[in-house]
Structure 1
């Protein structure tokens, strides 16, 4: 493996990329534990695939915004290091697959030339900050949330308080009370509001999907915009210290909220306020880049098929609050498109629109700032690219994760069944092509990357076993979810599990019943009226596994017999580190504390020192085979086993020493003294460990 020369001007980014290259070298030479390397690469957007020897790279795109230059850069990287396919995620990222891990530093270096990062796109970090794709153009928005989403993204990128949490942390911004950012299913959700002329947000806390979805609690009905970053700083600190770390199934913020309740969380949040470096963090929205419309003169065009054009306009045009402009929605089947078309799109919007596109939460593309008179021209150009499929954000627009195509956790195909269901809707239910009310979503497993459990009609990949112990692919059918607006939503009920090949028949029965009895109501309201058992009675006969045919044992999109094969999930994997690796890591954290201290970043230095002390304690507790589920648990257990017993003398309790963190403001004096404490803790633990090994 040869080293490469990074040409990145930003020294922080360059150092980060070179550090990744060094860690890859260490791993290849057997000097870095495999599990530790996994944790490190995940925090840099490098995710293991179902296929051995290659990686998926997740490119982090705050609130889905991509400029023409950035899109061309992503295309170049995909062609050079991947397969030329770009996959849009339900968190407005772009993923590329089949990448050699050895080439990831140079790949990252290429992306950063146009200010595109993969840092913290995966792993136990603050993930991509998502937002309504209509932010800035939404006819109902009180103001553009883009500057606020961007400021929050920048604040937490590389922030030491959010690098090694128990699990991932997700944030969203909604442009209006329609809550198209889906605040109720996020760890933190912000909905734009104005009170007494002041910009701010309704704040939702502790939501999540997965196998146990939880509706977020309302933390504030209104919080001024200068308070949102200090708030999240405190929330992340609480989650980092009190959140579960051992059991991945219980490690999200929603489980902490379930354990201690909203009031209990507020108490912990208040205790962190002295440690938070800012009480106010004003965000100057006026400095956010202004829109500049391309001035190229578009040729006049003639629409040959006027009827098809009008149908497309009815489903794919999105109104803008800016007079004379509309946005165009591009329906991207399963979120997959290719670099040849992406380059053409980048050039088109640069010349004739605002030089940007938005990746959407439903795996589509939105092109804002199209002059109304240029809609026919854009239609003809997009038609050449294959980008004029009707049904943007309608029932025909099915969301699906990659499932068993590339994901280690996939149980059953999600992309295969999605294509079949779209085919059925087009052919048998054309009246749903323009229906924006019914949302259909599919996930290949319980982790809900396809957001199936908040859909009106959802499918989750599973398996089913016959009496003869044969295993076939299956789908859990979920019904009744939906976004109710202003931070309110319903999660879907699990109704019945059916063999995958019966998924289309299940959809037919559901839509036939709705057509017959819906009476103009929304599907969510209709389901709420009828109830779970009504639909169970309609669908239960499809669940019979005693009469499966040979075809039922072949999943959608494949010709081979189904075999349930689940790998090690990496979306938020919690790793067990070797003791020596942990202690070495504590040294690195102290070095980080020193560097940030010298840069005058007192709060960052303090948190690096805190992380070092907890990490050192974790190492010695791991040696004693003591559970290290939470930071607060590590702190208390270290006192019980080592300080109270006199094995290690710190001059005070470990808890008193460490939790000076939230009892002092982040000053230079405190940061320096706290760093010395971290050095002392590490030195004494290393000495104890060395003596322990000698006596052993």
Structure 2
């Protein structure tokens, strides 16, 4: 067999060993592609249905406010150096119009970006090694990890490095550009599970089994309108197998998830569809297939023996690291900072020799690698900037909130303003000092209201026949315990939610027995008991009280966002998906040949051919279905493109070399013919479609297209 080099996307050359190096996180070619796409949109060549999913893959998100964008900046594991922090601060200062926002998935968002400025922002960040690629859209999103990854005494391994390596293994891969829906991954460095694996599409927990180090694998978790805890699909995999774990789940997602209803297209719906046992079996089968093929190289991780230490709490204050250094966790309320404040924290980190800065999943900022002798001084500087650092649990308010209607197009309530309103209420709560209160502006749950001690979910509900903002209260969620999704409780008007919070806090403080957790207490009370807690506010729900129809911080009467579609659920054109899957077929053929799996290589080649052929059928307005025979596909193309010698020659060349390869001949010519066929389809798709591109006499011929149209 001829020597085969696997050409992963964007890598630009082989090493002769069948697998290439991981992708760089930031590539200037991404910016070139984005500029080209934006140019096509501005010129009218692309409509919004083409432009929207394209820009989302580059982290450019629509806002509630017309004519501006939010840009989401992606940091795997939330890990940044001081130069990265300064770059984000400067980008926000130059082009944005608000405070930057630390998110619950360890990314950073900046707002009010002019569409014409977006390419400049992306280029500025990219030149400094920072990416927004696949931070939004139906892609493999930012890889999360524990907030103390790499420094926590309890960890087996640095989960942040795992997140970074997986990100580099999959960024730009054609398989993950146009998935049925987004795919979220997180990594925990030990069984404490600070990274909340049970609410992710894929969760990895570092562990030891029979003296070996590796990971447990969980899949199918999620919050949103239907919160579900993940199921275990593998009790142990080695670190080198992690890219294959991702591949197996992504391929199941592409193959089986719902492409017609994106509201039912997450991994959790596959678990529901097949049942946990069947889904686990499907994963194991796909995982075994992925293990047969080369992956990008995996540099061995450094494992350690965990040592005794208190379980990390949030925010956390000053934490002793396992290497003798210290970490200071900074609490900017609700994760909001100005550029000057963010830059000042970078200056502080540099001045005191910090190793890194981390965005945490609860919207805080961890500064790691500090000399314990300087911690008191550092804490003083941080507090001088106006940010909290805990001395004792609870003396900094632990409130998490998504933006809600401050910027989000599908937000129902202004969760961010409500979060600001309750900061003082939550602080120093003696009944549970490390209390968590999370607020989401809608059912999608970006504020993680399902996994807090007390969660608030924004919704609309009528008072006297008129729409008013409301919150539903959730009780006893836990981000670290699988199955501990918050219990649904009463619904209260948004303007009375502060009073409702006081009532439930008092109810728990005075009503818990024998050290009950919030969840145990809520389960004992039941729905009727929880509803009774807020009964005192019923007398204040008066349709004549106009204040009930205004949300916190808003000066307009409440109106629910009827008919709005979430940006992250945007569809995409079928041709974009076919292009990606054709490229994936060619990549997989190369991988199979490199592993001497010739039979699988031939299967992948047929898949790549079919997807490229579907592009040509889409081009002439004759798309088919997955059930169409290959004979029908080929006859459609011959009828539509019979006068284009380039297409017909590429088609005939592919078919001729396939016959030889499937008869046991050298697969190398077949591989080259497939590559030419895919390139020919791409070239045809780039041409404008004209009437002459389709031969009307095809309708007068029997068989193929004519029989399909006649239904014969």
**Aligned equivalent of 1:635:** 626
Residue 165 (structure 1) shift: 0.1
Distance 1:589 1:453, change over 3 A: closer
Q: Given the alignment of the two structures, is residue 690 of structure 1 paired with residue 698 of structure 2, yes or no? A: no
Distance 1:449 1:674, change over 3 A: same
Q: Given the alignment of the two structures, is residue 449 of structure 1 paired with residue 446 of structure 2, yes or no? A: yes
Residue 348 (structure 1) shift: 1.4
Distance 1:606 1:70, change over 3 A: farther
Matched position secondary structure for 2:534: helix
Matches within 5 A, 1:331-346: 331-346=331-346
- Cα distance in 1 for partners of 2:329, 2:129 equals 25
Q: Given the alignment of the two structures, is residue 124 of structure 1 paired with residue 138 of structure 2, yes or no? A: yes
1:492 alignment partner, one of 483, 486, 489:
486
Matched position secondary structure for 1:166: coil
Contact 1:88 / 1:364 at 8 angstroms: preserved in 2?
A: yes
Residue 157 (structure 1) shift: 0.6
**Aligned equivalent of 1:320:** 321
Q: Given the alignment of the two structures, is residue 106 of structure 1 paired with residue 120 of structure 2, yes or no? A: yes
- Cα distance in 1 for partners of 2:26, 2:622 equals 37
Distance 1:212 1:693, change over 3 A: farther
**Aligned equivalent of 1:304:** none
Distance 1:513 1:287, change over 3 A: closer
- Cα distance in 2 for partners of 1:693, 1:540 equals 75
Contact 2:457 / 2:472 at 8 angstroms: preserved in 1?
A: yes
**Aligned equivalent of 2:308:** none
Residue 521 (structure 1) shift: 2.3
Q: Given the alignment of the two structures, is residue 471 of structure 1 paired with residue 467 of structure 2, yes or no? A: yes
Contact 1:124 / 1:572 at 8 angstroms: preserved in 2?
A: yes
CA displacement 1:365-419 (0-9 Å, x = unmatched): 1112222221221022112211235489858211100000000010111011111
- Cα distance in 1 for partners of 2:388, 2:186 equals 29
**Aligned equivalent of 2:405:** 404
Matched position secondary structure for 2:501: helix
Structure 2: which 5+ residue stretches go unaligned? 1-22, 304-312, 596-600, 640-650, 652-656, 659-663, 700-708
Q: How many positions carry a matched residue from both structures?
A: 634
Residue 279 (structure 1) shift: 5.9
TM-score, normalisation: structure 2: 0.79
- Kindly report the root-mean-square deviation, in angstroms, between the aligned alpha carbons of the 2 structures: 4.1
TM-score, normalisation: structure 1: 0.81
- Cα distance in 2 for partners of 1:693, 1:38 equals 37
1:575 alignment partner, one of 571, 575, 579:
571
Contact 1:341 / 1:385 at 8 angstroms: preserved in 2?
A: yes
Contact 1:590 / 1:609 at 8 angstroms: preserved in 2?
A: no
Matched position secondary structure for 2:278: helix
**Aligned equivalent of 1:352:** 352
Of 82-91 and 558-567, more deviation after overlay is shown by 558-567
Contact 1:230 / 1:281 at 8 angstroms: preserved in 2?
A: no
Distance 1:271 1:377, change over 3 A: closer
Distance 1:264 1:678, change over 3 A: farther
**Aligned equivalent of 1:291:** none
- Cα distance in 2 for partners of 1:571, 1:588 equals 21
Matches within 5 A, 1:468-547: 469-485=465-481, 488-519=482-513, 520-539=515-534, 542=537, 547=543
1:284 alignment partner, one of 294, 299, 316:
299
Of 188-197 and 9-18, more deviation after overlay is shown by 9-18
Residue 347 (structure 1) shift: 1.6
Contact 2:575 / 2:618 at 8 angstroms: preserved in 1?
A: no
Of 469-478 and 382-391, more deviation after overlay is shown by 382-391
1:556 alignment partner, one of 544, 552, 555:
552
- Cα distance in 1 for partners of 2:476, 2:619 equals 45
Q: Given the alignment of the two structures, is residue 462 of structure 1 paired with residue 459 of structure 2, yes or no? A: yes
- Cα distance in 1 for partners of 2:633, 2:52 equals 36
**Aligned equivalent of 2:643:** none
Distance 1:139 1:447, change over 3 A: same
Q: Given the alignment of the two structures, is residue 369 of structure 1 paired with residue 363 of structure 2, yes or no? A: no
- Cα distance in 2 for partners of 1:59, 1:263 equals 37
- Cα distance in 2 for partners of 1:236, 1:203 equals 14
- Cα distance in 2 for partners of 1:116, 1:506 equals 43
- Cα distance in 2 for partners of 1:63, 1:256 equals 27
Residue 104 (structure 1) shift: 2.0
Matches within 5 A, 1:164-313: 164-269=178-283, 270-271=285-286, 273-274=288-289, 278=293, 283-285=298-300
- Cα distance in 2 for partners of 1:64, 1:692 equals 57
Contact 2:579 / 2:615 at 8 angstroms: preserved in 1?
A: no
Of 675-684 and 261-270, more deviation after overlay is shown by 675-684
Matched position secondary structure for 2:116: helix
Residue 505 (structure 1) shift: 1.6
- Cα distance in 1 for partners of 2:32, 2:393 equals 42
CA displacement 1:4-51 (0-9 Å, x = unmatched): xxxxx9898222211110111111000012111100000000000111
Matches within 5 A, 1:35-46: 35-46=49-60
Distance 1:314 1:78, change over 3 A: closer
Contact 1:54 / 1:100 at 8 angstroms: preserved in 2?
A: yes
Contact 2:328 / 2:379 at 8 angstroms: preserved in 1?
A: no
Residue 466 (structure 1) shift: 2.8
- Cα distance in 2 for partners of 1:649, 1:625 equals 13
Residue 354 (structure 1) shift: 2.3
Of 382-391 and 683-692, more deviation after overlay is shown by 683-692
Q: Given the alignment of the two structures, is residue 431 of structure 1 paired with residue 430 of structure 2, yes or no? A: yes
CA displacement 1:506-546 (0-9 Å, x = unmatched): 11111111111223222123223333332123235646855
Contact 2:382 / 2:389 at 8 angstroms: preserved in 1?
A: no
Residue 645 (structure 1) shift: 12
Contact 1:42 / 1:570 at 8 angstroms: preserved in 2?
A: no
Contact 2:208 / 2:214 at 8 angstroms: preserved in 1?
A: yes
Structure 1: which 5+ residue stretches go unaligned? 1-8, 289-311, 629-633, 652-656, 659-663
- Cα distance in 1 for partners of 2:383, 2:684 equals 68
**Aligned equivalent of 2:13:** none
